[in-house]
Structure 1
Amino acid sequence: METIQTMASDVVVTLVLALIGLLAAYATYGIRKLTEKVKAQTAQLKDEEARRLLNNALQDVEELTTVTVAAIEQTTAKSLREAVKDGKVDRSELVALSKQAAEEISAALKPEAQKIIEENLGSFKDYLSKLIEEKVLELKAMTQ
């Protein structure tokens, strides 16, 4: 009888230890899944924040470009374009206006915005140059 009680006790201890091991494995699995979920949510938040920062930077550049190009168009470019047509002035002076606009916009824009654009779109100068040309075309279309 004592042998049976000892064997039964050993079986119960073995079952309890197995159950504890199984619970520990489930707990570890649950913790790992929860950690992965938190990491994914954190990455998603970072992506959303980066996207928001990029959109804000692009809006700032576009607004600055619109204002700067409009001001240059109003004060200089229109008369300079006519002088180029008449042959009084070289076309390189019109190109210089584009460089002037790019310099003014770059000086007015925060360096962080330029950095964000470069990280996401490549060269800020190339982007700005294309945006300036687009705004010049829009202004020409509106005035014609």
Structure 2
Amino acid sequence: MEVIQSMASEFVLTMALGIVALLAAYATYGIKKVTEKVKLQTQLIEENEKRTLLLNALEDVSELTEKVVGSIEQTTARSLRELVSSGKADRTQLEALAKKAASEITTSLQPDVQRVIEENFGSFEKYLSACIESKVLELKTIK
């Protein structure tokens, strides 16, 4: 009888240890899944923040480019373009206006705006130059 009780005790102990090990494995698996889910959600939040920063930066550059190029076009560029086409002025003066616009826009922007655009597009200067060219073309076709 004692042998049967001893074997039954060992069996119950072995089963209990097996169940504890199984529960520990399930807990570890659950913790791993929760950790992966939290990492994914954190990454999505970071991506959404980056996207929002980029869209805000692009909007700031676009709005500022529109105002600066419009102002230069209104005050100087149109008459200078006519002088260049008639041969009374040099084309480099028009190019200098583009540099002036780029300088005004760059100094008006927050440094973070330039950093965000560089992180996403590589070169802020190239992006700004394309924006200026696009705005000039748009203004020329409207008039």
Structure 2 equivalent of residue 30 of structure 1: 30
TM-score, length-normalised on structure 2? 0.99
Output one character per residue of 1:51-78: Cα deviation in whole Å (capped at 9) or x when no partner: 0000000000000000000000000000
Tell me the residue number matched to 1:88: 88
The yes-or-no answer on 1:69 pairing with 2:37 is no
Q: Percent identity?
A: 59
Query: Gaps spanning 5+ residues in structure 1: where?
Result: none
Can you give the 5+ residue segments of structure 2 that lack an aligned partner in the other structure? none
* 3-state secondary structure, aligned to 1:75: helix
Q: Aligned letter for 2:56?
A: N
d(CA) in 2 for partners of 1:85, 1:44: 53
Match in the other structure for 1:139: 139
Instruction: Determine the structure 2 residue equivalent to 1:21.
Output: 21
Following the alignment from structure 2 to structure 1, what is the Cα–Cα distance between the partners of residues 121 and 86? 39
So what's the TM-score if we normalise by structure 1?
0.99
Using the alignment, how far apart are the partners of 2:53 and 2:11 within structure 1? 63
Residue 121 (1) aligns with residue 121 (2): yes
For 1:65, the aligned partner's letter is T
Match in the other structure for 2:10: 10
Matched to 1:88, the amino acid is K
Q: Displacement of 1:86 after TM fit?
A: 1.1
Aligned residue pairs: how many? 143
CA offsets, 1:68-107, max 9 Å, x none?
Answer: 0000000000000000011110000000000000000000
Whole-Å separation in 1 of the counterparts to 2:86 and 2:10: 107
